[in-house]
Structure 1
Amino acid sequence: MLQTGFFGCSGSDVDAIDYYKSEIEKIGKEEADEHKKVMKDPKSIMPAAFVSFRSRWGAAVAAQTQQTSNPTVWLTEWAPEPRDVYWNNLSIPFVSLTVRRLIIGVAFFFLNFFYVIPIAFVQTLANVEGIEKALPFLEPFIETPTIKSFIQGFLPGLALKIFLILLPTILMFMSQFEGLVSHSSLERRTASKYFIFLFFNVFLGSIVTGSALEQLNTYLHQSANDIPRIIGVAIPIKATFFITYVMVDGWTGVALEVLRLKAFIMFHLKNFFLVKTEKDREEAMDPGSICLYWSEPRIQLYFLLGLVYAVVTPLLLPFILVFFALAYVVYRHQIINVYNQRYESGAQFWPNVHLRIITALIVSQLLLLGLLSTKGLEEATPALLALPVLTIWFHKYCKHRYEPAFVRNPLQEVMRKDTLERARERNFDLKAYLADAYLHPVFKSNEAGKFYVADDPGAEAVIVPTKRQSRRITPVQSEDGGSGRLNLMESVHKR
């Protein structure tokens, strides 16, 4: 065994030491040559990089300005924090990103369009008359009062829920194929797709296929000017369906969120088959983070239903209010005490949420105009046209006035933070901290993130303080981020 120190040595020992030294130098040269060879390989060079700055001011200037006269060279944007990076997409060339997004746009359109077919088929059969026509031999069984009430009340909502189980996962895979480089941007893009899908297939699709499709004969024998009136009549008819849908999908979903049956089953399967060490047990018990791309669009769908049916069928409102009350209590508890959020995006989700709220307001106002036209109140329609116009103006005002605060970092604020940091943390070794902040998780050690104090080699490392002090609440670091610490200095991601 080769040791690092010697107390004494003979001539033969000196020869052995020289031999070991020569072998070590040889191995070092071979590793250096191999490293140079890898660096020269075009496949080893990524078209993106993370650039860290000594100050927030420098990062803000670099991220928010154009670097060259050629707009296709040195494209910079704010980098996500280290835990938020989705490393699999960093190696995608910039040109292929546009092609990927075009492919996903076309694929999402066809998915959204053709998904109406099974939903329309289920909505047509999920009533007593449809089942009796398709399966006449079940007529005596269906006419039983209990079975008939179940079919008319819960079967449509249950069938629609089953068809939507795998949809969020499919949409997440589509967003990953687009080439987004952070978990937060993946969730934002997936949430937008999911809300569009719910709007067209669950809201409009259920109305058109469930009620208006039954009036197809009326469509064929009426002029095109009467179609809005027919749809206006069909909207109140589907109020019963949406009441049952809120109970089946909303109330049941909140109850399942409390039970967490999926996490419970997965933990016991992992504990039985995979857990061999204490670290494996901690990883199996990791609750993960809340799936915003799945839960947030559903909540906004119920918000849309409440706005639309507040005037048409106010009976739906108590069911919506009960859902929001339960969801507030349950999700507040889960976020504070259960989930371990794997990233912090700085409220980047809110502009998308605001846009969908404005969309729900405009849709409810337009449907109100259509409903009033079916009730013989055409003279009130011109006065109500101001509502969607004012709502759109309000959205443009908010977008122009407040959205820059979510995408830009004011130079005044970054200067203030830099000054405070230099005054309060004079011994903070920024270079040592940034040495592996954006290192790939494969190359990271399992040690927790630490602060490094310069000019004091005997000082002990201090663990980075976080909002969650309990090891029980945050047992392990994030899946892909490797390190559980937050990025103290803003960084820039360039392509």
Structure 2
Amino acid sequence: MAYAFTFWTCFVLLKEYETVASMRLHFLASEKRRPDQFTVLVRNVPPDPDESVSETVEHFFLVNHPDTYLTNQVVCNANKLAKLVKQRKKKQNWLDYYQLKYSRNNAQRPIMKTGFLGLCGKKVDAIEHHEAEIGKLSKEIAEERERVKKDPKAIMPAAFVSFKSRWGAAVCAQTQQSRDPTSWLTEWAPEPCDVYWPNLPIPYVSLAIRRLIMAVAFFFLTFFFMIPIASVQALASIEGLEKVAPFLKPIIDMKFIKSVIQGILPGLALKLFLIFLPAILMIMAKFEGFTSKSSLERRAATRYYLFNLVNVFLGSIVAGSALEQLNTFIKQSANEYPERF
């Protein structure tokens, strides 16, 4: 009976896999062409003193993929340029807001303060101020763009290589391009809207070091996070507060305050940590150097799952079993021998 059930299960899984594979192929065949389907991200391009990075990439792929290679686009370190563009966009949004505000009330020009968060500083005309700031940023953006184009140090050893067919891109993305496994590294290029540009200029050696550091950091974060949490929870208890701040004892003795401390504060530190945990894991994933936003989210989600698995599921089981065994040992008479399992 067991063999029949196993055979039936395998047969059903085979048919289900065939159906899913057929649906996937039909979807890919009916889908419109996208640039990322024909593009491969090439990293760690070896330097050549006689050729630029673009020329090196083009020469390499014309030799190794002559029938399918189309073109390439070298990656530039334009992180500063991206920050300036982001600042100008923010200023433009504020300018649109003040212009809309002024269009609704022409009797008074909008006024703002130039200090911290607009709370202090000199009062100026908001529209004129943001127009001047946008003009200044536009000039800086143009200068930075020219610097990136002319500065050879801004050219990174990475490029987006496009092919004439999906098959050519797939062959390049899934095969080793050189005898040296650390050079000419290829992977599928993410969609244009999915590219995380700040991580593209990171060198290959730095990527390995970063991921090792983050792996060690995640290990300590997972297995030793209860130490600082327990310390904070101890301080959040009534006894801990009385030891640290004895002058608060009259306030702590109040019935309402005591109930709040006993019911809320002990678990508040853990809840706050779990709230900020996804953001911490996302920062760690960005530090590792992933090149797409989806891969960043995938890594953060995977580590969040592992964290909860170790600390919530396995931790509660192990801690519960250990406490139960300890309670048994404490209540057991000294003249009795423990039972053998």
TM-score range, shorter chain: 0.3 to 0.5
TM-score when normalising by structure 1: 0.31
TM-score when normalising by structure 2: 0.43
